[in-house]
Amino acid sequence: MEKRRERERGRERRGREREREREREREREREREREREREREREEREREREREREREREREREREREREREREREREREREREREREREREL
């Protein structure tokens, strides 16, 4: 009788220990999932920063093209003034 109760208590104890171990494993899995989610978020933020840096580089290239167009217009105005002075000298 006593041995049967001991065996029963032993089975119950082992059952509780197995359940605690399963719960610890579920918690470890939840933590791994949270870590994967944090990693995905970090990667997404990094991709967004890279996209923003690329947009900024493109804006800078566009500003440079605009400065070049302005320099070209200025050179053209200067050539026009030179032609005008040349015509006046010829008169």
Domain ranges of the chain: 1-90
Whole-structure pTM value: 0.57
Q: How far is CA 77 from CA 33, 74, 82, 86, 88, in A?
A: 66, 5, 9, 14, 16
Under-70 pLDDT residues of the chain: none
Give the count of alpha carbons within 13 A of 11, CB side only: 5
pLDDT of residue 69: 98
Tell me what percent of the residues of the chain surpass a pLDDT of 90: 82
The residue written with tokens 């302005």 in the block is 70
Separation of alpha carbons 60 and 72, rounded Å? 18
pLDDT of residue 1: 79
Q: Which two tokens stand for residue 83?
A: 């032609």
Please name the residues in contact with 68: beta carbons below 8 A apart, sequence gap of 6 or more.
Answer: none
